[in-house]
Structure 1
């Protein structure tokens, strides 16, 4: 299973379990089903289950105790009754993208400082998935898996939690291209080159170059979307 597929399935599972916690089906303090039971119930791999639980923990919905299991927490109160990270119009989308540039550039810089060989391998694997993606849905999953791998490598749980809260919806394809048709070759080549630049800078352990590469990629992404309208 590719990193992009694992990320997509983990997000689906995290939402399913999270919905049970928010609705009260799994009340605060109650132990979640064991890893084995979740594997059997959802037909997911242990890797997917573990990543889903990590996401729930980063969102403040679960606390995992070593040797004991995972327990539901009281769901965080919503901000003003709505998702404060949701962008409702073009102006808010621009603000959200600027916010993303700020946090992901810093995440890339931190990733360059803290990356282990395993972290670099995960980032490279996500890059391979992006290279192999053809349809928009595949591209979105692979793209988000790459950015999440960078955030995870930063070592800052809040950066990772924020990106998880945003979810794959931040990987915005131009409206005219959100359909089951192959990506345009020129755009695909540019996107891949930008992601490779980020991966190379992190691999070299260069925080400034990593932040600059991430900023350049996200700025170019916004420009591509604006060019289509």
Structure 2
């Protein structure tokens, strides 16, 4: 198999993984639901059997699905005991959210710089759509954490690096859970600032300015840390 064919297959696998991950995190494919059969995915997506099987293997490795031989592939409960997740208490959720944001700082800053250099026009358009969806949500909406994460997941996808994509997909369910448990770090008062921070990230990516993309992402995540620390301080009182 030549390099071009291999790269194309890997790209299609990554896209399928990201799409299915987003559907699972969004609840479109809830825990216990059965994924479409291999034949259906091949027909609907126009991909090969190898692409589908590699995508399923990645989703299984990330703990999002499980295959029951002779029956099919099912979405697992991502909130099972023993999985990485926030405390059921608000204070625990806030502290867990801080830990996840610290992890994202080590991951997403460089991802943004790489994405600025590698993103395609089609990926930038998908990112623009994800950003518009995130900006449209009210700060207090329970789904705001999920749609914000989808924007960040699109950035990871733009790196073309399966390790960035898999890492972001893997922390997705934990990230959304702990932020929702921590309470709204994005409030009515700071919503405009959050939107401006995300727009700065996108603008840097669109003009392919890697250093500005890194700086904008770092600022956004550091500010997010400060906002969540505010939640921690309130709950500690």
2:97/2:182 contact within 8 Å kept:
no
1:58/1:158 contact within 8 Å kept:
no
1:207 matched to 2:214? The reply is no
1:226 paired residue number: 229
2:157 paired residue number: 152
Shift in Å, 1:206: 1.0
Distance in 2 separating the partners of 1:111 and 1:101: 15
Q: Deviations over 1:87-138 (max 9, x none)?
A: 5656655343222111011111110010110010011001110111125223
1:126/1:146 contact within 8 Å kept:
yes
Distance in 2 separating the partners of 1:204 and 1:8: 26
Shift in alpha-carbon separation, 1:91–1:127, aligned structure 2, 3 A? closer
Shift in Å, 1:147: 0.5
Distance in 2 separating the partners of 1:225 and 1:167: 17
The more displaced of 163-172 and 203-212 is: 163-172
Distance in 1 separating the partners of 2:173 and 2:61: 19
Shift in Å, 1:53: 8.0
1:125 matched to 2:129? The reply is yes
Give the match's secondary structure for 2:166: helix
Shift in Å, 1:185: 2.8
2:107 to 88, 103, 106: 103
> What TM-score, normalized by structure 1, do the two folds share?
0.64
The total of aligned residue pairs comes to 183
1:26 paired residue number: none
Unaligned runs of 5+ in 1: 21-31, 40-44, 63-71, 74-80
Shift in alpha-carbon separation, 1:203–1:37, aligned structure 2, 3 A? closer
The more displaced of 92-101 and 118-127 is: 92-101
2:119/2:159 contact within 8 Å kept:
yes
1:162 matched to 2:176? The reply is no
Unaligned runs of 5+ in 2: 1-18, 47-51, 63-71, 74-80, 233-237
User: 1:24-173 maps to which residues of 2 (within 5 A)?
Assistant: 33-36=37-40, 56-59=56-59, 61=61, 82-83=82-83, 86=85, 89=92, 93-134=97-138, 135-171=140-176, 172=179
1:197 paired residue number: 200
Q: Deviations over 1:51-84 (max 9, x none)?
A: x98864434549xxxxxxxxx99xxxxxxx954x
Shift in alpha-carbon separation, 1:173–1:104, aligned structure 2, 3 A? same
2:153/2:168 contact within 8 Å kept:
yes
Distance in 1 separating the partners of 2:181 and 2:85: 18
